């Protein structure tokens, strides 16, 4: 359907499919918006959808999209697409504010603000009262609501300023890394300080980091393995937000190689680098180091992830809500529904294959230990045919906690191979030990003569 719409409207098919599929249950809203858009405005309409995040595709309403398109600037530069055309400012609920502000703002203020955005800064300072105590949950107030109440918490005031500026075709943003409010003066991003009379350009330096990979962490993830916090003049810490470029709203954050392998422009000042490596028992091996970034200079730091030779480490993450079909049922069930809380084993088997046969004999030799452990073991086959070709009696007495199932469409296989960075999903068997939070502490693929011993050694450490 998305491809047909793209062909009908002469739109890029790949991009249209990506947007409509990504919008999930809100696809009809986006389809209607694109279909009702005039031919000469379709490029702008598509650009508008492209600059929004996938979550916004799923939430945005038709009136917001129409309001944005009707007030779209003629300038189609990247700056304008991202910071004027784009509706999203922060974490506020999307609302049709552009027409509203163009109608209610004093024409003289509009003219002065377009000539010098500092005029809008001064107006906000004078007319919007900040009272954080009135919004203890910090739920963002919609921009039109701030206008009407003339009172807001700090975050809502900042969102209000950016929204009004964008309504006037002034590029503005809440800078994603440091969360500073800024407007673009045609050359530079200017920091907005509502407590000061002068606006500034914060001097920057360059930051890079070296990393020597450990066995369990090849490329550390920001917020997963390390964070950087700026030490503010007040002594408080402000964690930098580097997770703004996720491909999906709930996906993993940026990595060391993407962020710090090459020099990254960053505001001058003092910072803390915090690293952590979570063990299977829940303890975290951490480091904290301070460093300074000086304006116009390069700073190089060492990113070190601690590891333990004694404790079992978390080596990956899966989704325990993923589903498979038990061999004795026509309905799918989740991993979590089978295992309950705690650790479990999942195996992907290749029947009549020697590596799988060897693994099953390994499991039979430790059956009494696994029975004493009393945790679920899910053994999966890629098809009904594979299951029917498996004869469990060939391997002797197996653990009593085994559940057999079919991994239809390779959903769980793909999840495990992706999470553990296994390059060949057809190299079987694959075994993991994980818990119901999705933390993987053991993986084995293919022929492994010591798998039984490795399983028991890992189990005794968790």
**Do 246 and 348 belong to one domain?**
no
Domain count across the chain = 3
**Do 322 and 287 belong to one domain?**
no
Residue 254: the pLDDT is 83
**Do 232 and 290 belong to one domain?**
yes
Last residue of a domain, one of 191, 219, 241: 191
The Cα–Cα gap between 306 and 284 comes to 9
Last residue of a domain, one of 156, 191, 226: 191
113: pLDDT strictly greater than 50: yes
197: pLDDT strictly greater than 80: no
The Cα–Cα gap between 328 and 409 comes to 18
**Do 357 and 455 belong to one domain?**
yes
Q: pLDDT for 214-265, tens place per residue?
A: 877 889 989 889 999 999 999 999 999 875 444 334 344 488 998 999 999 9
Last residue of a domain, one of 160, 191, 222: 191
Q: Which CATH number goes with the domain that contains 400?
A: 3.40.30.10
Least confident piece of the model among 101-115, 282-296, 302-316: 302-316
Q: For a pLDDT cut of 70, what percent of the chain falls above it?
A: 97
- Determine the angle formed by the axes of helices 354-365 and 451-461, rounding to 10 degrees: 50
**Sign of the dihedral defined by the CA atoms of residues 130, 131, 132, 137, in that order:** negative
| Residue 28 domain flag | yes
Q: pLDDT for 430-446, tens place per residue?
A: 999 999 999 999 999 99
Question: For residue 272, what is the enclosing H or E element?
Answer: strand 269-278
| Residue 196 domain flag | no
345: pLDDT strictly greater than 50: yes
**Do 234 and 170 belong to one domain?**
no
Could you tell me the maximum CA-CA distance found in the chain, to the nearest angstrom?
A: 88
The Cα–Cα gap between 453 and 434 comes to 17
**Do 154 and 226 belong to one domain?**
no
306: pLDDT strictly greater than 90: yes
The Cα–Cα gap between 277 and 305 comes to 7
| Residue 431 domain flag | yes
**Do 30 and 58 belong to one domain?**
yes
206: pLDDT strictly greater than 80: yes
pLDDT bracket for residue 6 (50, 70, 90): confident
Domain that holds residue 112: 2-191
| Residue 82 domain flag | yes
197, 142 contact by CB (below 8 A): no
The Cα–Cα gap between 175 and 121 comes to 16
The Cα–Cα gap between 299 and 291 comes to 8
């Amino acid at each position: 359907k998305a491809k047909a719409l793209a062909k009908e409207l002469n739109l890029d098919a790949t991009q249209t499919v990506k947007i409509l599929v990504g919008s999930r249950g809100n696809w009809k809203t986006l389809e209607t918006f694109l279909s009702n858009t005039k031919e000469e405005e379709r490029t702008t309409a598509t650009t508008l959808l492209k600059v929004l995040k996938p979550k916004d595709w799923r939430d945005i309403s038709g009136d917001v999209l129409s309001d944005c398109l009707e007030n779209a600037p003629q300038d189609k530069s990247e700056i304008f697409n991202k910071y004027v055309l784009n509706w999203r400012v922060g974490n506020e609920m999307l609302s049709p504010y552009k027409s509203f502000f163009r109608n209610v703002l004093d024409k003289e203020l509009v003219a002065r603000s377009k000539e010098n955005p500092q005029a809008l800064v001064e107006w906000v300072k004078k007319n919007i009262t900040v009272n954080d105590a009135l919004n203890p949950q910090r739920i963002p107030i919609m921009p039109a609501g701030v206008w009407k109440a003339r009172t807001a918490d700090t975050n809502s005031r900042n969102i209000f300023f950016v929204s009004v500026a964008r309504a006037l075709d002034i590029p503005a943003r809440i800078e994603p890394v440091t969360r500073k409010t800024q407007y673009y003066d045609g050359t530079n991003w200017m920091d907005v300080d509502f407590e000061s009379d002068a606006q500034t350009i914060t001097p920057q330096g360059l930051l890079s980091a070296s990393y020597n990979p450990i066995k369990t962490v090849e490329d550390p993830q920001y917020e997963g393995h390390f964070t950087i916090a700026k030490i503010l003049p007040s002594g408080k810490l402000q964690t930098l937000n580097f997770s703004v470029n996720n491909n999906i709203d709930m996906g993993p954050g940026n990595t060391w190689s993407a962020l710090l392998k090459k020099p990254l422009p960053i505001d001058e000042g003092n910072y803390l680098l915090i690293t952590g490596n979570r063990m299977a028992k829940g303890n975290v091996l951490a480091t904290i180091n301070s460093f300074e970034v000086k304006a116009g200079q390069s700073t190089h730091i060492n990113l070190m992830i601690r590891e333990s030779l004694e404790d079992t480490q978390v080596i990956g993450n899966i989704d325990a809500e993923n589903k498979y079909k038990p061999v004795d049922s026509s309905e799918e069930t989740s991993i979590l529904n089978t295992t309950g809380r705690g650790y479990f084993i999942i195996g992907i088997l290749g029947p009549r294959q020697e590596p799988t046969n060897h693994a099953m004999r390994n499991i039979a030799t430790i059956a009494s230990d696994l029975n004493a452990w009393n945790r679920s073991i899910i053994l999966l086959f890629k098809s009904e045919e594979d299951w029917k070709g498996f004869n469990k009696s060939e391997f002797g007495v197996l653990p009593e906690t085994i559940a057999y199932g079919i991994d239809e469409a390779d959903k769980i296989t793909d999840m495990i191979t992706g999470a553990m960075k296994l390059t060949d999903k057809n190299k079987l068997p694959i075994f993991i030990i994980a818990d119901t939070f999705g933390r993987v502490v053991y993986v084995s693929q293919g022929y492994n003569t010591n798998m039984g011993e490795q399983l028991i050694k890992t189990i005794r450490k968790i």
